[in-house]
Amino acid sequence: MSENVGERIIRAMNNNFSIPLYPDFAPISLAMKQDMYPALNLLKEGVSEFSFSNLYLFRHVYGYQVSRISGGGLIITGAKEGKRFFYLPCCFPDMTVFDRLMESHDYMKNLSESQAAQHRIDLEGRGYVVWEDRDNFDYLYRRQDLAELSGREYHKKRNLVNGFISTFECVQRPLNPERVGDALGVLEEWRAAKGFDGDYIPAREGLELYSQLGMRGAVYYIEDEPVGWCLGEPMAKGSMFAIHFEKACDRYKGIYQFMNQAFAQSLPQYFKLINREQDLGNEGLRQAKMTYRPCAFVKKYRVVHSREKKIEATLGREPAECGPGTVHTC
């Protein structure tokens, strides 16, 4: 009899001695990739935070630590604005363990849609509040839609791309070790233009370690000068590609729209969907992402104590320039 996904995740997590057994935790390290990647790669919903590369690159931003549950599964803890949270990306633990986690944390983040469907009644019966975290929904697009930009709804995007192409001769080249330095130069210019770091450190480390992390991307050139780059990875068992970072020189009008289309065109056709991550509650970013007509969202939920209720001010919001979800599409 063939294994189901849950059984394969449990098997992948068994005997992972680099990850301590709950209740002990350890900071996420590069050495844990061989233990964490197989289980995370089997997740079918495509939650953008639930990849080893994303967790590793943002480990200092959120202070991520990891533990494993006996029998399979991961517990990942972090903190934001003084509030402690945890993820359960692979398997849901026994409710006794869950209660203990809630006692020591302020909330659970990124409960997946399938987990919410399965456990919401039990959670609410135990006095917890489960609610949709719209600010952290991932935006999903059909790869073909972004590659073709066909139809009336995309005419403004086509105009920007056509204007860019008529003004500049831009070439897309695959990211490789020889081009990392070019991409880093664009990142430095992006940082200087913004006037603050944002996700500079994770983006820089992502470029430096892209091969070790199993990521892929592209670098864009105008007259042999690097002017942009993007970086991402396959998710959802290889059916989806998530764009984690996208940076360009803003002085070239239309460059982000060009990069968006060109990279979608370059992806293999077996990637049916492109995940461009969250808007983090930033209205400008939300409007920009909506103009590309998402076909769906990766819904995520938060679990809070009943005393917390559904108060966004209590949970806080991440700045739109820092953390997963800072892909800019204008």
Same structural domain, 198 and 234 = yes
**What is the rounded CA–CA span in Å between residue 83 and residue 79?**
5
What pLDDT, on a 0 to 100 scale, did the predictor assign at position 307? Answer: 72
Same structural domain, 120 and 58 = yes
Same structural domain, 158 and 199 = yes
**What is the rounded CA–CA span in Å between residue 304 and residue 108?**
7
What pLDDT, on a 0 to 100 scale, did the predictor assign at position 303? Answer: 98
Residues 282-316 have pLDDT tens digits of 999 999 999 999 999 999 999 999 876 655 444 44
Phi, psi of 175 (to 5 degrees): -65, 130
Same structural domain, 37 and 77 = yes
What pLDDT, on a 0 to 100 scale, did the predictor assign at position 88? Answer: 97
Same structural domain, 187 and 263 = yes
For the record, the structure tokens of 245 come out as 């970072």
What pLDDT, on a 0 to 100 scale, did the predictor assign at position 6? Answer: 56
Number of domains in the chain: 2
Q: What is the CATH number of the domain that holds 152?
A: 3.40.630.30
Same structural domain, 183 and 280 = yes
Parent domain of 25: 5-137+298-315
Same structural domain, 146 and 124 = no
What pLDDT, on a 0 to 100 scale, did the predictor assign at position 9? Answer: 52
Query: 287 to each of 55, 132, 160, 279, 290, how far by Cα in Å?
Result: 27, 19, 17, 9, 5
What pLDDT, on a 0 to 100 scale, did the predictor assign at position 180? Answer: 98
Q: Give the closest residue to 294 by CA, choosing from 262, 321, 327.
A: 327
Phi, psi of 209 (to 5 degrees): -115, 15
Q: Does residue 302 lie within any of the structural domains?
A: yes
Residues 121-166 have pLDDT tens digits of 999 999 999 999 999 999 999 999 999 999 999 999 999 999 999 9
**What is the rounded CA–CA span in Å between residue 25 and residue 66?**
5
**What is the rounded CA–CA span in Å between residue 191 and residue 321?**
11
What pLDDT, on a 0 to 100 scale, did the predictor assign at position 306? Answer: 87
What pLDDT, on a 0 to 100 scale, did the predictor assign at position 319? Answer: 39
Same structural domain, 104 and 153 = no
The per-residue pLDDT string of the chain (330 residues; one tens digit each, 9 = 90 and over) reads: 455 655 555 555 455 468 999 999 999 999 999 999 989 999 999 999 999 999 999 999 999 999 999 877 999 999 999 999 999 999 899 999 999 999 999 999 999 999 999 999 999 999 999 999 999 999 999 999 999 999 999 999 999 999 999 999 999 999 999 999 999 999 999 999 999 999 999 999 999 999 999 999 999 999 999 999 999 999 999 999 999 999 999 999 999 999 999 999 999 999 999 999 999 999 999 999 999 999 999 999 999 998 766 554 444 444 344 444 445 443
Same structural domain, 58 and 179 = no
Same structural domain, 193 and 178 = yes
What pLDDT, on a 0 to 100 scale, did the predictor assign at position 16? Answer: 46
Same structural domain, 103 and 40 = yes
Strand partners, 170: 222
